[in-house]
Amino acid sequence: MKTFSALIALICIISLKGFSQEKLNYEGFEVIEIDNSIFTSDKYWQGADGAASVDLGNNRILWLFGDSFIDVEGTGRRSGSKLIRNSIAIQNGVDIENASIKFYYKGSRKEPDDFFELTGDTWFWCGHGMLVRDKLVIFLFEEESTSEGLGFQTAGWYMVIIDNPYDDPLSWDMAYFKGPEPSDIIAGSSAILGDSTYLYAYGVKEPGSHEVYLIRFEIEPLLNGNFSSMAWWAADQWVSNRGEAPEGAVLFTGQTEFSVHYQEEIEKFIQIQTFGFGKAKLGYRLANRPQGPWSEPILFYEPNLEDQQEFVYSAKAHPELLSDGILITYNVNSFDFGKLINSESLYYPKFIQLKF
């Protein structure tokens, strides 16, 4: 099992009910803290990290999670829960004050299991995904245990294609395709964007210095599990190469997971992530196009922590949700496992609204 200190390196879900009154004012923008009670209402699903959101159309939103606590007895408490490696949820409604949400995982109530399953000693954590021509494309990264560092390391990445994304998730027809080398650059670990011809996947070098790359795939072959069109943005051009990343391909240094989307109000692409270790801050970069060049980061929010055992990670924006601004989630975890198990304030995704 992954140690909870390992969660530092990674990785959140949404649907909200109401706004808190606490506002933090900064020059040029405003941050409002949002209530997350919708995520604490399920008596079986007891929190997760790594949440990413995908627009499924028809006011439905898919949420992708990493490690998830499932209370097998349905007592509504995290103590005694089983930890699985990933879970998902479907949110109905884009207005966060009125939306509903349902969580999904494999197995049974008494024996829950990962939604995205991998045999053997390795497991999947979720990257991001996109609905493409009525098919759902999701990128996953394969993890394995190690005695070094944080206790885990990346072993490669996969893509799963779901032909019937409008059906109940437990009935999804899923085809898995293992990505080509290099295995230390996780295509799709962060944001996925697309147009009529290409799908664009941000990927991070992991393990390593978290250098960020942008990889492009032609949609037609990709939907058949064919990665032959893979190309890197490097030195101001697209370079076709399924091997090592070409020189000049690093966009910036980021996190394993972050978000990128186009924000119409400012007519810019905006990248959201956490910056720092432990008592981390949330920040953004701006660019005129997905490949950049990207601005230097602007830090805009520092979550309040109760003690030095707690840490912040996995900030992401969720443009699929209706908001007067940008809705952003992040996670707070703790090195104190006992506190993590017993505290309702930890591990459930938290969120804020950023208004320019």
Q: What is the pLDDT of residue 26?
A: 56
Phi, psi (deg, nearest 5) at residue 13? -150, 165
Sequential DSSP letters for 205-228? ETTTT-EEEEEEEEHHHHTTT--T
Question: Above 70 in pLDDT, residue 9?
Answer: no
3-state secondary structure of 182: coil
Cβ density class 30-59: b for 16+ within 10 Å, e for less: ebbbbbbebbeebebbbbbbbbbbbbbeee
The tokens for 18 are 């109401």
- Residues 282-288: contacts with CB under 8 Å, at least 24 apart: 282/312, 282/315, 282/328, 282/330, 282/352, 284/354, 285/252
For 274-329, write each residue's pLDDT tens digit.
Answer: 999 889 999 999 999 999 999 999 999 999 999 999 999 999 999 999 999 999 99
169 cis-preceded (ω within 30 degrees of 0): no
pLDDT at 10: 35
CA distance 117 to 211: 28
Please report, as a single letter, which amino acid is at residue 288.
Answer: N
The yes-or-no verdict on residue 16 having pLDDT over 90 is: no
Task: Check: pTM over 0.85? Answer yes or no.
Answer: yes
Q: What is the pLDDT of residues 186-242, one digit of tens each?
A: 999 999 999 999 999 999 998 778 899 999 999 999 999 999 999 999 999 999 988
Alpha carbon distance 165, 134 (integer Å):
7
Per-residue pLDDT tens digits for 72-92:
999 998 998 999 999 999 999
Percent with pLDDT over 70 in the chain: 92
Domains in the chain, please, with CATH?
Answer: 4-355 (2.115.10)
Segment 165-183, tens digit of pLDDT: 999 999 999 999 999 977 7
